[in-house]
Amino acid sequence: MIGGGIGSFIGPVHRMAAEMDGLAKLVCGAFSSDPDRSVESGLQLGLDRNRIYPDYEAMIRKEKELPPEERMDFVSIVTPNYLHFDPARLALENGFHVICDKPLTKTLEEAEQLGRLSEDNRLLFGLTHTYTGYPMVKKARSLVQNGSLGKIHKVMVTYLQGWLTPYPEGAGNKQALWRTNPDYTGKTSTMGDIGTHAENLISYITGLKILEISAQLNTLIKPRKMDDDGSVMLRYEQDVAGTILVSQVATGEENNVTLRVYGEKGGLEWNQEEPNTLILRWVNKPMEIYRSGAGITGINTGNRLPAGHPEGFIEAFANVYKNFEEAVLDRKNRKNFPVNHYDFPTVFDGIQGMKFLEKVVESSASTQKWIPFQ
């Protein structure tokens, strides 16, 4: 693991997810840019002191020198996105698979370089777009792609949070300070932080390509300099209309991710704060409610518990790791199935996300109503 030391927001989530199904265990790490803090973090996690490293360069170099049966199998990068590219590049150049938090990088060019390295070196690269791991999201994908809803007309994702209200940066909130600083996040803040999840959900469920985009980024709370709110209209192939609305200043909201898909035969709705329920509405029959783990055909993928035992964010996160780890194990055992066999977000989903952000920023600054996506 790179990052995720003492006081980390997302590091413990990655560790719980990675180890939930018993397929992987943490064996080494460079947990902080402060070497002493890295050692302290590693010792708290029960690691051998010899495999707690002062920085990621030392970790990758030293691990590569170990015999194959002893060295790490993959690297988990859980730093802020401006610190993703260099460690991911170095890991790929030295023959290690990578799984990384999102958004993938700070720029599209960096993301594309990681894509080339992953392909050229025939290495796996996973991206933790957590919401694709929910069983009901997988069921929604199945219903859309098997034609149950008929031809798709419209897709909508709203992602609403309120934690940037009123101005936590002013009180020294660490998460707010780096997420709203262009030196760290790149060209966009809120759209990069949560808008990429929204775009990825639509892409994962429909498989459709974006043709045109019209976007507006807003900074609603001053003196903040980066976006804390945004709206995006999308034109997909097959004449499908898309809408993405995101905000981190929606006062009182926690983590309200809502997906809606409407087709000629019916529509579906899923909400992340009630993740075990999928609502279907039909043209000529009553509304249906699917419940996670309830034994409906095709619905159990990703469940660990019997129906009525709630599962949530950590379990969804773990599904991403589990599928990635199965791919790593198969590669280790010389079983070379195609990456799409495993159902986890890849580096190319990350490239798509970075392209989405570039186009959102371009559109928001443009006087044109629509700009081409390709």
pLDDT of residue 196: 98
Those residues whose C-beta lies under 8 Å from the C-beta of residue 372, and which sit 6 or more positions away, are 211, 212
Task: For residues 51 and 62, give the distance between their C-alpha atoms in angstroms, rounded to a whole number.
Answer: 9
Task: For residues 363 and 195, give the distance between their C-alpha atoms in angstroms, rounded to a whole number.
Answer: 15
Q: Among 313, 320, 346, which Cα is nearest to 104's?
A: 346
Task: For residues 106 and 188, give the distance between their C-alpha atoms in angstroms, rounded to a whole number.
Answer: 10
Taking the CA atoms of the chain, what radius of gyration do you get in angstroms?
21
Q: Which CATH architecture best describes the domain 11-131+319-345?
A: 3-Layer(aba) Sandwich (3.40)
Residue 299 has pLDDT above 60, yes or no: no
Angle at CA 316, nearest 5°, toward 311 and 321?
135
pLDDT of residue 298: 52
The structural domains of the chain, with segments of one domain joined by +, span 11-131+319-345, 134-308+352-365
> What's the pLDDT tens digit per position in 244-261?
999 999 999 999 999 999
Residue 97 pLDDT grade (very low, low, confident, very high; cuts 50, 70, 90): very high
pLDDT of residue 283: 97
Question: What pTM does this model have?
Answer: 0.96
User: Between the CA atoms of 285, 287, 293 and 297, what dihedral angle is there, to the nearest 10 degrees?
Assistant: 20
Burial of 372 (0-12, 13-18, 19+ CB in 10 A): exposed
Superfamily for domain range 134-308+352-365: Dihydrodipicolinate Reductase; domain 2 (3.30.360.10)
Residue 301 has pLDDT above 80, yes or no: no
pLDDT of residue 374: 85
Task: For residues 52 and 340, give the distance between their C-alpha atoms in angstroms, rounded to a whole number.
Answer: 34
Domains 11-131+319-345 and 134-308+352-365 share a fold: no
Query: What is the average pLDDT score of the chain?
Result: 96
pLDDT of residue 296: 61
Portion of the chain with pLDDT greater than 70, in percent: 98
**Sign, Cα dihedral of 142, 147, 150, 151:** positive
Both tokens of 264, joined, read 């000629």
User: Between the CA atoms of 320, 323, 328 and 330, what dihedral angle is there, to the nearest 10 degrees?
Assistant: 180
> What's the pLDDT tens digit per position in 346-362?
999 999 999 999 999 99
> What's the pLDDT tens digit per position in 14-44?
999 999 999 999 999 999 999 999 999 999 9
